[in-house]
Amino acid sequence: MANETDTQWRSEAVNVLDRVTAAERRFCGSTSVNKITMLAAADELQAATTHATVWLTANPCPDVELRERVAWMLNTCAEVAFTAQRAVTDPTANTKAVMDRLRYLLTIFDFESDGLDARYG
């Protein structure tokens, strides 16, 4: 059962993490549009993830397990953004391999996000 500190942290975290989730959804939609759109969405995801990571560092979650899961989710988002940026900007990148990696990372993100919602939402 969540105590008052946990509840307060979760309430504040919702706004920060919603920005990451929204950026991730826009990124997913961008992958079927074009490389410029995908790069812009990756940049947005990176910015949202960086902001959330800074916030999480300044406002550590009192629930250690939740803190670790959120940090892991943010690390996955950071890797998605980096991988997408590399796919678009590196002419030597193997596009198929990079897109396969992105699909894998996004699947992990969706699974983890659903798990957080079910357990802590």
> In b/e form, how buried is each residue of 68-92, taking b as 16+ CB within 10 angstroms?
ebbbebbebbbbbbebbbebbeeee
Mean pLDDT along residues 69-94: 87
What are 28-38's pLDDT values in tens digits? 888 888 889 98
- Please state the pTM of the whole predicted model: 0.81
Stretch 111-120: mean pLDDT: 62
Q: Are 72 and 36 in contact (CB under 8 A)?
A: no
Q: What is the pLDDT of residue 114?
A: 64
When divided into structural domains, the chain yields a total of 1
* Cα–Cα distance for residue pair 17/29, rounded to 1 Å: 19
Taking the CB of residue 36, how many other CB atoms lie within 10 A of it?
A: 10
**Which distant-in-sequence residues (6+ apart) come within 8 Å of 71 by Cβ?**
53, 56
User: Whole domain around residue 30: which residue ranges?
Assistant: 4-120
